[in-house]
Amino acid sequence: MSSDPLTPLLLWQQLGWPLTRLIIFISIGLLAANLIELLNWTRRMAMLAAPLIRFGKLSEITGASFSMAFFSGVSANSMLAEAHSRGRISTRELVLANLFNSLPTYFLHLPTTFFITVPLIRGAAVIYIGMTFGAALLRTLFITCISRLLLSGPTGQGTGEVQPPERPGQPRFRVALARAWKRFTKRITRVIRFTVPIYILFFILNRVGLFTQLEHFMAAHLCFLSRLSPQALSIIALHIAAEFTAGLAAAGALLQDGIMSQRQVVLALLVGNILSSPVRAIRHQFPYYAGIFQPRLAMRLIFFSQSFRTLSIALVAALYALI
């Protein structure tokens, strides 16, 4: 349980402003997704992933979402949610498209990861980032192959609504913006209705220390990793119980003192990445996913994404350990 008194200022800093910022970003994502669809920009955006889209029998919406995910994960997911709600993609393709976006999502967070890891573990950072990039690339290629087997191709279904003709003399963009705003105002009410209570609930659970207890429990029960050195276990425990930077700092100190090799440090960080992801995904990802998708579907998407992420990183870690 947090020992800090919950003053109005602290409440705003830890709950009010993060929740407001989340709603703002979701709103921008929803509006952008509707605008891109109404301006018919999806085909152009899908060109970036055209070979994979064709091979995987995925739709243009999925391709456009893939391109958008390089810049905004919220906008990419909002585009998929809008297309799914209007019957343009099936639930099966929605799940596959969300998994397909793992590679651009990785690139979206790559600069932050790079500039944190390099100063702390130097040369080992290149190997670690290479391993995680390989896992993301492997996931995308694997999902493309699964999509080819499971999907029969784009459905070609319409949105289900009749679009009014453009008024003479009115710019196309202005018409699209007006229609996008109309759709947005209908959708944002539902987003707020789900996101706000779920975010507040997770804030309370965090304040009472539930997630911290889960992380400490996982860090304390690492007996199945007994083959690793005590130093590696300390990195993994810090990675889980504290945060990624804490594990990196410990790894950097052990690496600099010559206590651990680059290989041992990279393996410890990969294992810590695997074990820390599930709790953090539920803690940080679910509140905003539940605003974009239905809560049950949000949990399904998180389950599949974390399962594939864990398996892919475990595979590259095992291959690296055997080399």
d(CA 66, CA 220): 38
| Domain membership flag for residue 293 | yes
- Residues 252-311: tens digit of each pLDDT: 888 887 888 899 899 989 988 888 888 778 887 888 898 889 889 999 999 999 999 999
Grade residue 56 by pLDDT with cuts at 50, 70 and 90.
very high
The predicted model scores a pTM of 0.79
Q: Are 195 and 23 in contact (CB under 8 A)?
A: yes
**What sign results for the dihedral spanned by CA atoms 236, 237, 238, 244?**
positive
| Domain membership flag for residue 158 | no
- Residues 228-244: tens digit of each pLDDT: 667 777 787 777 766 67
- Residues 109-139: tens digit of each pLDDT: 888 888 888 888 888 999 999 999 999 999 9
Write out the DSSP string of 219-283.
HH--GGGTTS-HHHHHHHHHHHHT-HHHHHHHHHHHHHTTSS-HHHHHHHHHHHHHHHHHHHIII
Give the count of domains, the chain.
1
CA 281 to chain centre: 8
CA 142 to chain centre: 18
Grade residue 62 by pLDDT with cuts at 50, 70 and 90.
very high
Query: Is the model more confident about 294 or about 147?
Result: 147
d(CA 60, CA 153): 11
| Domain membership flag for residue 164 | no
| Domain membership flag for residue 162 | no
Residue 298 backbone dihedrals phi, psi, to 5 degrees: -60, -45
Ramachandran area for residue 169 (φ above 0: left; ψ -120 to 50: alpha; else beta): left
Give the helix ranges, DSSP H, for 122-243: 123-150, 172-207, 210-220, 230-241
Q: Is the pLDDT of residue 159 over 70?
A: no
| Domain membership flag for residue 53 | yes
What's the pLDDT at 129?
94
Grade residue 147 by pLDDT with cuts at 50, 70 and 90.
very high
Residue range(s) defining the domain that contains residue 249: 8-153+170-322
Q: Is the pLDDT of residue 155 over 60?
A: no
d(CA 316, CA 308): 12
What's the pLDDT at 228?
65
Mean pLDDT of 174-179: 84
Q: How many CB atoms lie within 10 A of CB 288?
A: 22
| Domain membership flag for residue 307 | yes
Q: Are 262 and 127 in contact (CB under 8 A)?
A: yes
| Domain membership flag for residue 159 | no
